[in-house]
């Protein structure tokens, strides 16, 4: 499983669209996300599920049309605090 922290979204609409997409991903895929504040999202997913996480469809994946572009639409890091890990762990149990 991969864990990343997304911060400093350039537009709130980008964050809202991404969250709406994550909520619609089929439950057979293990994706956990936690919105810490208005501009910070923690995300845990399997690397093999990246197409489902970052693309809205297989067509978009084939055409490399991302929902969000890390480093452009928001900042991303895989360095998480102990608190961040705890939040993802708790949400994963729910």
CB atoms within 10 A of CB 63: 10
* Phi (first) and psi of residue 59, to 5 degrees: -60, -45
Q: What pLDDT digit, counting tens, does each position of 19-71 carry?
A: 999 998 876 668 899 999 989 999 998 877 778 889 888 899 899 999 999 99
CB atoms within 10 A of CB 47: 8
Domain ranges across the chain: 2-93
DSSP 30-90: -EEEEEEETTEEEEEE-GGGHHHHH-SSHHHHHTT--SS-BTTTBEEES---HHHHHHHHH
Q: What pLDDT digit, counting tens, does each position of 5-21 carry?
A: 999 999 999 999 999 99
> Alpha-carbon distance 48 to 53, whole Å?
10
Architecture of domain 2-93: 2-Layer Sandwich (3.30)
Tokens standing for residue 61 = 């994946």
Check residue 4 and give its pLDDT.
95
| pTM summary value | 0.87
Q: H-helix or E-strand containing 2?
A: strand 2-7
Check residue 27 and give its pLDDT.
63
Region 60-84: mean pLDDT is 94
> Alpha-carbon distance 14 to 28, whole Å?
25
């Amino acid at each position: 499983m991969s864990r990343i922290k997304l911060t400093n979204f350039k537009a709130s609409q980008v964050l809202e669209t991404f969250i709406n997409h994550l909520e619609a991903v089929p439950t057979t895929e293990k994706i956990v996300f936690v919105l810490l504040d208005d501009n910070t999202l923690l995300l845990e997913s399997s690397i093999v599920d990246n197409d489902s996480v970052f693309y809205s469809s297989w067509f978009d994946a084939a055409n490399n049309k991302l929902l969000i572009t890390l480093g452009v639409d928001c900042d991303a890091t895989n360095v998480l605090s102990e608190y961040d890990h705890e939040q993802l762990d708790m949400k994963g149990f729910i």
